[in-house]
Amino acid sequence: MADMQEVLERQEGETRERMRRRAASKRAQRELDEQLGIAVAMLEKENQSRRRLREGRGPNVDRHRHSQGNNLIEDYFIPHSLYSDVHFRARYRLQETFK
């Protein structure tokens, strides 16, 4: 019986040791994940600040692109347009179609 008791105690000790190692491994993995997350966040923040601050460059200029479609229609496609068909074909390099 003493031998059986020793075997059970040894198995319990081995089980506790495995559980302790597993817990330590999980703890180390969590710490590593946390450090990695912090490093990635710091790199993203650094990259964003680099993109925003460009020395010697001004802000983007508003070129009113939303109105350019209307301008094209008014310039070329209304009955009393600003430019003729000849100007339109020359501007957009279109060949004359034969009827």
Q: In tens digits, what is the pLDDT along the chain, a chain of 99 residues?
A: 788 889 899 999 999 999 999 999 999 999 999 998 898 888 888 877 655 556 777 877 888 887 877 777 877 788 888 778 788 788 878 777 665
How many distinct structural domains can be found in the chain? 2
**45 is a domain residue:** yes
Amino acid at 18: R
* Residues 30 and 71 placed together within one structural domain of the fold: no
17-52 burial: b if 16+ Cβ within 10 Å, else e? eeeeeeeeeeeeeeeeeeeeeeeeeeeeeeeeeeee
Domain that includes residue 74, residue range: 67-99
The encoded tokens of residue 5 equal 């008791």
How far apart are the C-alpha atoms of 12 and 76, rounded to whole Å?
90
CB 89 within 8 A of CB 96: yes
Reported pTM: 0.40
* Residues 83 and 39 placed together within one structural domain of the fold: no
How far apart are the C-alpha atoms of 8 and 23, rounded to whole Å?
22
